[in-house]
Structure 1
Amino acid sequence: MGGTVLGIGLFFASFYVLFTNEGRALQTASSLEEGLSLVVSLNPFSGIDYQNNDHLVHLSTKLRTLQPLHDPNYRVVVQAVQLKRQVEMYQWVEHQESRDYQENGETKTETTYTYNTEWKSDLISSRHFDKEIGHENPSAMAVESVTVTAPDVRVGPFVLSKGLVEQINNFQTLRLSDFPPLGLDSFLTIHEDYFYHTPNPRRPEVGDVRVSFSYAGLSGEGSYPGPAETVSVVAMQSGVNLKSFKTRAGDKLEILYLEELSAQEVFEKEHQYNAMKTWGLRAAGWALMFIGISLTTRILYTLVDWLPIVRELVSLGLKLFAFCVSCSLSLLIIASGWLFYRPLVALGLVAVALIPLFLGRARAPAKKNQ
């Protein structure tokens, strides 16, 4: 009964996912078409033209920040948009494996626990271990993970909004082999791009800590760790700021790509991403419906569970039923989402969805005559 209730919930959830996804996809496509028709490409080496205020603009140039990011604890300095410090601690980890076995006609479960030491970024509490004695972990991290973002990120003469800066997330590991170890504390050891809080990084003990750094959006002129990256931005000009642009369709355009692209190429990539997202949500909606129908009809399988042959036949039939119904209903819901926007496409989807029903009715008289 619990599975039936859950199945009904998933079934109706699939309706919401499938229907709203079509409206979202069409709205996004309309917004992108509108944006492409309005966008103005700017010369990154020219000054600010205030006649473009409140207009959608395109700019492709190098990132620029006013000052580098640094971590004083490890003497790390990088001219980038974001600097991330990732901390891991050597800890005990509990693994469990269960197996079912028969004893006196009853099914019982046996669980085996094993313990290994591993580097983990999250603190693992040993209080919940099956055998805590001999596998105690520290109660806190000696150093915390943190991400620092440059307060002022620019492209050409413009300052990027927070939403655009958050899209600069191409984190790369900081290679410590080229890192100048100037003034490091005596308890720190550099080994394979990690700062180890131990003199023996090859033989760590529980509680030892290692720290790695990664950066995103290089924005300096120096050679370490590399030159400034080129980005392509589509956003609304508001004085010296670039921020989101709201279209008549209702979407907000605030686009950034970490490569040099023309305005046409930016919108083509956005159309591709919209198509991938649409098909992904369609597949997710169909899966929710299939699982929902399968759980709802599972009670029929339970009723014949004591008959082995009948049980297998019913199981196969229920799966085929769930597959056919979910396919047909999914197409009908998708068609209803398109009905008010593109009626011809909607009618085509309805015709495809009704094919299984027509085939079923066409085969029924033939069996009767036989």
Structure 2
Amino acid sequence: MSSQPFSETDHNQHKRVSSRSNPGFLERLSDTAGGTVVGVALFFLSFYVLFSNEGRALQTASSLDEGLSQVVSLVPSSGLDRQNDNHLVHLSARLRTSSPLHDPNYKVMVQAVKLKRQVEMYQWVEYRESKDYQEDGETKTETTYTYNTEWKSELINSRNFDKEIGHINPGAMAVESVTVVAPEVRVGPFLLSKGLVEQINDFQTLSLRGFPASDFDTFLTVDGDYFYHTPYPRRPEVGDVRVSFSFAGLSGEGSYPGPAETVSVVAMQRGENLMPFKTKSGDTLEILYLQELSAQEVFEKEHQYNTMKTWGLRAAGWALMFLGISLTIRIIHTLVDWVPILRELVSLGLKLFALCVSCSLSLLTIAVGWLFYRPLVAAALGVVALLPVLIARSRVPAKKHQ
């Protein structure tokens, strides 16, 4: 493979052309054989995803039904009742934290469960676009490199650019992104577990309108909802930094930036702590929704989520199977790709074959999963499916007798 010097079209754009000799039949066959190995691995992985997903869905549904049959709904104003220890409980109440969260560097303060500082740097970003074409018996690749300046939260290493000269980024950010979490979060009289607190992620941007910018030095400017480490936020240069803040789970009594949020929780009570509840079906129930819901509504939402996840994994399993079959039989396309007309027909036929086989095997695997995890349901469905045949056969002797 050879590479030609790039052609300069602009300071922030250039093209580079590379060429490679067209692979021979044996080389293409060898590459296809490697894809076949990957295809076989994906094919068997799809069976595991499809089959285990049915068991997971059943276990989750059983755990939710078990939880709904046992859950005790509490009234937060009634206080702590120790008779409910080690029982699954449900309550809806406002979030409470002992003190506000603050960032001393920017003098930001908010009473919430979480406070996130998001840092971005103005940096060079490289984009590349490639196209292949045939010339003089070789495959040539023309790659166009374009460089733009953008605000990015991750550090971009300009040493990996095709052309670093004139597009150099700093090696580190002056300020780091960080998320601060309240040490204690309460709902009613209860202290939330770490797992419940992790589910509070409804981050909202903290508005900086009316923020007293005079409290800072001349190199820190407030513009919109950002702190800029430059006196010229509308004309940033590479290396300039801007900072925004967001919060999740308001838990204060004041009016700024809003009243405390009401959440609905389903978990196990142990003293004043809310903890994970282990069901007999094998799942763990530790649920939090950022809205006021009854126990019935909480479990209905969990059932809906379980259904969506089940169908999502079914689709993922089918996609893995389709891709695996396509890669496995691609070697047939390689054997005939030197005949243009035959190549197109074979390619279409192989795609249809992979589609049909993957659909059939996916449905069969799901059916086997039902038979394995839900034998009674599968048997009942089988009987229902055979009823028309049995009825038809039962009528045959009667007609012969007539």
Q: 1:276 aligns with which of 297, 308, 326?
A: 308
**Aligned counterparts, 1:27-66, within 5 A:** 27-66=59-98
| Mapped contact 1:335–1:350 kept (Cα < 8 A) | no
| Mapped contact 2:102–2:110 kept (Cα < 8 A) | yes
**Structure 1 residues 325 and 345, CA, compared in 2 at 3 Å: closer, same or farther?**
farther
Paired with 1:218 and 1:182, the residues of 2 have a C-alpha distance of 27
TM-score normalized by the length of structure 1:
0.92
- Larger Rg computed on CA atoms: 2
| Mapped contact 2:203–2:246 kept (Cα < 8 A) | yes
Q: Secondary structure at the match of 2:144?
A: strand
| Mapped contact 2:101–2:110 kept (Cα < 8 A) | yes
- The equivalent residue for 2:241 is 209
For residues 241-265 of structure 1, the C-alpha deviation after alignment (integer angstroms, 9 at most, x for no partner) is 0010000000000000000000000
Residues 1:309 and 2:359 aligned together: no
Paired with 1:247 and 1:190, the residues of 2 have a C-alpha distance of 51
- The equivalent residue for 2:122 is 90
| Mapped contact 1:85–1:214 kept (Cα < 8 A) | yes
Paired with 1:26 and 1:307, the residues of 2 have a C-alpha distance of 51
- The equivalent residue for 1:231 is 263
Structure 1: state its 5+ residue gaps: 352-370
Paired with 1:158 and 1:180, the residues of 2 have a C-alpha distance of 37
Of 21-30 and 100-109, deviating more is: 100-109
**Structure 1 residues 180 and 56, CA, compared in 2 at 3 Å: closer, same or farther?**
farther
Paired with 1:249 and 1:181, the residues of 2 have a C-alpha distance of 57
Equivalent residues, number? 353
- The equivalent residue for 2:193 is 161
Residues 1:290 and 2:322 aligned together: yes
Structure 2: state its 5+ residue gaps: 1-32, 384-402
- The equivalent residue for 2:284 is 252
| Mapped contact 1:58–1:235 kept (Cα < 8 A) | yes
Amino acid corresponding to residue 142 of structure 1 in structure 2 = A
Paired with 2:91 and 2:144, the residues of 1 have a C-alpha distance of 59
**Structure 1 residues 182 and 216, CA, compared in 2 at 3 Å: closer, same or farther?**
farther
- The equivalent residue for 2:175 is 143
Residues 1:266 and 2:266 aligned together: no
Q: Secondary structure at the match of 1:67?
A: coil
**Structure 1 residues 120 and 188, CA, compared in 2 at 3 Å: closer, same or farther?**
same
- The equivalent residue for 2:254 is 222
| Mapped contact 2:211–2:222 kept (Cα < 8 A) | no
- The equivalent residue for 1:172 is 204
| Mapped contact 1:335–1:345 kept (Cα < 8 A) | no
Q: Secondary structure at the match of 1:176?
A: coil
Shift of 1:185: 3.2
| Mapped contact 1:197–1:210 kept (Cα < 8 A) | yes
Misfit runs of 4+, over 4 Å:
347-351
Shift of 1:350: 8.1
TM-score normalized by the length of structure 2:
0.85
Paired with 1:350 and 1:317, the residues of 2 have a C-alpha distance of 33
Shift of 1:37: 0.2
Report the RMSD for the aligned CA atoms in angstroms: 1.7
